[in-house]
Amino acid sequence: MFEVELGKSQFVASPKADFLALDEFDESTQTHFLNVVDSSGSNSLTVAQFTGGSIYPIVWSPDGTLLAFNYYDLTGGAPSAQVYAVSRTGGNLSLVYEGSTVGRLFFSPDGKYLLVEETTSASGGHLYWINLTTLDFNILQAPGLSTDYDWYAPSWRP
């Protein structure tokens, strides 16, 4: 099932458990391969590839057609978080958000939006929602609540 020796890996099942997304890390080249495999462990497809850093978290859209993930890097000592969305079939890798550190990612129930938990931006921690069609993003704020700390443990309600 695996063609490289795994140094680190995480497996995330799709909503119907018919696919797995996994981060295969090749220690000899320091390369992360974000792969999608079917439930039998065959038909592996690399949908993204990065050198160094780490990939976490990886989340599936509710319909299982998209993956979102954060690529975290410390090159030059400054933290960098890049959130990407990619098709399960490997097309349309899109950078949808850049920040300092990202804690969690959540798809909306219809899969059209992505909620990004930025934990330590220059102005503090915030929640951002991203329209995955237009890639527009905005800070999520509720009247009377602080954008700095009243946003922990978010969830969507259908």
**So where are the chain's domains?**
11-139
Over residues 26-41, mean pLDDT: 92
Distance CA 87, CA 33 (A): 15
Chain segment 100-147, per-residue pLDDT in tens: 889 899 999 999 999 998 877 666 678 899 999 999 989 887 777 776
Mean pLDDT over all residues of the chain? 87
Mean pLDDT score, 74-86: 89
Global pTM value: 0.88
Q: Give me the CATH code for the 11-139 domain, please.
A: 2.130.10.10
